[in-house]
Structure 1
Amino acid sequence: MSTDRREFLKKSGLAGLGVMGGNLLNLQANPQSINPALPVNNQQELNLIGAYGPWAKSLNLEKLPSYSFRNSEITDPDSWRDATRKLVAERMGAVDLGSIPKVTVHQTGTFEGVDFEEITYQLPSGNPTKAVILKPENVQGKLPAILGLHCHGGNKFLGLEKISRTKDDIPPYVQAHHNTYYEGRAWANEAAKQGYVVMVHDAFAFGSRRVKIEDVPTSIRKGITDFSLETEEQIDVYNDWASNHEHILAKSLFSAGTSWPAVFLAEDQMALNILADREDVDASRLGCAGLSGGGLRTVMLGGLDPRIACAVAVGFMTTWADLLLYKSYTHTWMSYVPILPQELDFPEILGLRAPLPTLVLNDIEDQLFTLSEMEKADKILQEVYAKANASDRYKCTFHPGPHKFDQAMQVEAFGWFDRWLKG
């Protein structure tokens, strides 16, 4: 495993284990190490919460969730979809960000065949959101559009730069990110070259939307300041701080009656409003895509916003059982909606968009998920789309390799968009 990948795993979840993580892994390998006199059930599959795992799974995850479209008594797709979207919004603690804000264009130009606009807009809280608009050079008229959703990657200092580019001279750590997860490409630019208007914005708590050190009490700053974030080493220090601060931010959002997925969704929908409102965009042909954290956001936005005519979720598809038993430690607080597993399995959030076209791209050796659970998620979505009489509009592909959105996967994604947004 590369150093970059180890750092990613550390910052996107493993850092939360610390010394206890080492103890947990040791106990999984040798449950008697804590007390050799204790009996061991060798028939029980090891899981992250030990003897409590089978019990916790039995509470809700061994039967069809109550709002699952796979239930035979659900026969009206439209009524089911409307009611279930409303339910998910309630479970999340949906927030309203108001009307579309004024957009300020700061810079325009052309880079490697792509015209770009660097913009900002002010949401009701936090610093202005930075975004970039990309489209093919010298193209006129309305085009289909894609909202590009950047990843987590253990790096909250960066946002839109993870998948877009407007100049040759970029910091080495940005290029390293492109190399590690996207086979050296800024995939949003590549999508624009295929004939799309592509918008990429900084997500909540990333880039321009990140939590600033000077805005929190001195007691939790850990001796760092925003003004010192210049070198790659200093940025790594901030990202470590931000990883630990996720616990505080998530608990604070819960205390406010909302959740991280709700804020993600609200800000992504506002970006979609801005994109759809452009004169060069055909608002009837909107898509979204993203890897990892961007794949999670694709699940939520694609499942809950009917304007997304075509969705491509990359590197984020599994079941609640996988997160319960095996892989919660590789994920952040951004994934969880309390109580919802009683009513929908995780893939069924994305399945709310059936019969609209949906592509899921998985990596066979993805260390963030269990392969058998990714395969179960695929079967669930197959069932949902079959019941919606739209099997031809759902596709799932398993690509070789670890967690990534490489060039082969990008080609498949762009082909899927071409089929459904240009066809």
Structure 2
Amino acid sequence: MKNRRTFLKMSSLAGLSVAGNGVLKNFPLASKTNLKMTPESNLNEGSVSLIGQYGPWANSLIENKLPSLSFRRKEWDDLEKWRKTAKTRLVERLGIPDIGGLPEVTVKKQYEYDGLHIEELSWQLPYGRPTEGILLKPVNAKEPLPGILAFHDHGGNKYFGTRKITRTSEAQHPLMKEHQEEYYEGLAWANEIAKRGYVVLVSDAFPFASRRVWMQDVPQHLRGKLNDENPEEPANIKAYNEWAGEHEHIMAKSLFSAGTTWPAVFFAEDRKALDILCARKDVDANRIGCGGLSGGGMRTVFMGGLDERIKCAVCVGFMTTWKDFVLNKSYTHTWMTYVPILPNELDFPEIFGLRASLPALVLNDEDDQLYTLPEMKQADKILAEVYKKANASNHYKCSYYPGLHKFDKKMQTEAFDWFDKWLK
């Protein structure tokens, strides 16, 4: 626990600029303020606002009234009609870009490791460098298997992507060994679920790893002393991640100015990965799940809410309310979370609730610094109400675990059992 506390103080979580030695890292505000965050920060949440006396007023814009497209409102008594209307509005608010059809996939390497057949994949989208992905499945699998779209976390670390939740050889980058020990109890969870009899696809999200912003591609005045040389050196990775954290507000404002949002770009690219997974002959496209921790949990919320090909979804460490962001926790979160105007129409949990009555599991850590426990429980209550009204209460579950922000072995076991229950 001591190591985990140290790690959480020294790095960001869902992207998420969390305190290092008490001062926020990887967040533009950090260099200008003395905001502090510790595991005890949740104790006094709610007594004051992040934006001072403006907090109660800002919260009053959404509090004590059901959003206009909430399924919990009395006027919505037809599940399919509500879902169609709410999804249409969500798509409008997101501004999902058209990024073309099914990309051609290149298999760069194939090999076996730890009982798994592994493929290193690549595909080119209409913009940016090629996306790299890792596919894992049991060796000697004969029949089509259910598939899992596994989302890596943010972790304040844009240099890495797929490697955060996979392991493909005995040789492992020391930073990824540390990352998996701190977040995942030393396990590469994509490997572990594949061993249960799934075809698992993990791809680099925008703008992580193969999809990251390179120094050579931005103006000189934004680079400082950074370059793209010796990228695997830990010191260079640290420097890059600090730069990428500072660059988030620039990326977000550019996306807004282009008529889209960061969650929309995530969704568009994740949907391409889903298309690729479903098109494989070794995958049963009628049995597909998705899940992830933290930033991966956020991507699960949007993918699980919008694409009905996802028959089972597991959101880990990313479930709260818009109120929590307004008053308490926006400073612990990346620019990647927000969809302007949407809080008037759907609370954050209701995005995930759009999948009712398809199975949904939420896993929370009781001491997670990224959210307040009361609002995690409020989000749970909202989803339970949505599923109850959809006559599908047994298709929704939320569990709480002791400890800080993580997806440890016990949580993974519950997640994998949930996938087995609904996909096998």
Q: TM-score range by the shorter chain?
A: over 0.9
Whether 1:310 aligns to 2:322 is no
User: Which residue, out of 73, 76, 87, partners 2:75?
Assistant: 73
In structure 2, C-alpha distance between the alignment counterparts of 1:12 and 1:24, rounded to whole Å: 14
Q: Equivalents in 2 of 1:71, 1:204: separation in Å?
A: 35
Shift of 1:6: 1.5
Taking structure 1 as reference, are residues 98 and 155 closer, same or farther at Cα in structure 2, changes over 3 Å only?
A: same
Residue by residue, what CA displacement relative to the aligned partner does 1:144-189 show, whole Å, maximum 9, x if unpaired? 0000000001100000000011111011101001001000010000
| Bigger mean CA deviation after superposition, 286-295 or 44-53 | 44-53
Report the CA distance shift for 1:23/1:145 in structure 2 as closer, same or farther (over 3 A). closer
Report what 1:263 is aligned to: 265
Between 1:257-266 and 1:75-84, the stretch displaced more is: 75-84
Work out the CA distance in 2 between the residues paired with 1:304 and 1:131. 22
| Code of the aligned partner of 1:404 | K
Q: How does 1:287-306 map to 2 (within 5 A)?
A: 287-306=289-308
Determine if the alignment matches structure 1 residue 5 to structure 2 residue 8.
yes
Q: Which amino acid counterpart does residue 264 of structure 2 have in structure 1?
A: A
Distance 2:222 2:132 in 1: 26
Instruction: Quote the residue 2:91 is aligned against.
Output: 89
Alpha-carbon offset, residue 3 of structure 1: 3.2
What amino acid is aligned across from residue 330 of structure 1 in structure 2? Answer: T
The 8 Å contact of residues 61 and 341 in structure 1, kept in 2 or not, is answered as: no
Q: Establish whether residue 22 from structure 1 lines up as the match of residue 34 from structure 2.
A: yes
Aligned to 2:327: 325
- Using the alignment, how far apart are the partners of 2:176 and 2:370 within structure 1? 22
* Deviation sequence 1:34-81 (CA, Å, 0-9, x none): xxxxxxxxxx92110110011001112321000000001101111111
- Identity, % of aligned pairs? 57
Name the aligned partner's letter for residue 12 of structure 1. L
Instruction: Please state how far the C-alpha of 1:24 moved relative to its aligned partner.
Output: 8.1
1:118-133 pair list within 5 angstroms: 118-133=120-135
The residue identity in structure 1 corresponding to 2:408 is D
Residues 333, 23 of structure 1: alpha-carbon distance in 2 compared, 3 angstrom cutoff: closer
What's 1:198 paired with?
A: 200
TM-score by length of 2: 0.93
1:167 aligned to 163, 166, 169, which one?
Answer: 169
1:107 aligns with 2:119: no
Give the residue type in structure 2 aligned to 1:301. Answer: M
Number of residue-to-residue matches in the alignment: 405
Structural RMSD (CA): 1.4
Q: Could you tell me which residue of structure 2 aligns to residue 360 of structure 1? A: 362
Q: CA deviation at 1:383?
A: 0.1
Partner of 1:341: 343
Does the CA-based 8 Å contact 1:260-1:334 persist in structure 2?
Answer: yes
Moved more, 221-230 or 207-216: 221-230
The one-letter amino acid of 2:100's match is G
Partner of 1:33: none
Quick one: which of 368, 371, 382 aligns to 1:369? 371
Listed one character per residue, the Cα deviations across residues 285-337 of structure 1 (whole Å, up to 9, x for unaligned) are 00000000000000000001111000000000000000010000100001000
What does residue 21 of structure 2 align with?
none
CA distance in 2 between counterparts of 1:362 and 1:274 reads 30
What's the TM-score once normalised by structure 1's chain length? 0.94
Q: One-letter code of the match for 2:332?
A: T
Cα drift, residue 12 of structure 1: 2.2
How many angstroms apart in 2 are the aligned matches of 1:240 and 1:189? 29
- For 1:23 and 1:296, locate their aligned partners in 2 and report how far apart those are by CA, in whole Å: 25
Give the match's secondary structure for 2:339: coil
**Please, which of 156, 159, 183 is the counterpart of residue 158 of structure 2?**
156
Q: For the residues of structure 1 that align with 2:359 and 2:31, how far apart are their CA atoms?
A: 44
CA contact (8 A) 1:288 1:298 kept: yes
Tell me, yes or no, if the aligned pair for 1:120 and 1:128 is still in contact at 8 Å: yes
State how far apart, in whole Å, the 1-side matches of 2:371 and 2:59 are.
17
Give SS of 2:400's match. strand
Q: Distance in 2 between matches of 1:52 and 1:196?
A: 49
In the TM superposition, residue 18 of structure 1 has moved relative to its aligned partner by: 2.1
3-state SS of paired residue (2:33): helix
Instruction: Kindly provide the amino acid, as one letter, of the partner of residue 143 in structure 1.
Output: L
What are the equivalent positions in structure 2 for 1:206-217 lying under 5 Å apart?
206-217=208-219
Q: Which runs of 4+ in 1 moved over 4 A?
A: none
What residue number does 2:390 align with?
388
1:201: Cα distance to partner?
0.2
Secondary structure, counterpart of 1:282 in structure 2: strand
Report the counterpart of residue 41 of structure 1 in structure 2. Answer: none
Larger radius of gyration: 1
Are 1:61 and 1:342, in contact at CA under 8 Å, matched by a contact in 2? no
Q: Check whether the contact 1:7–1:154 (CA below 8 A) recurs between aligned residues.
A: no
Displacement of 1:223: 1.0
Task: Name 1:409's counterpart in structure 2.
Answer: 411
Contact conserved, 1:128 with 1:209, CA < 8 A, in 2? Answer: yes
Give the secondary structure class of the aligned counterpart of 1:318.
coil
CA distance 1:283–1:45, change in 2 (3 Å)? same
1:218 deviates by: 0.2
Amino acid at match of 2:105: V
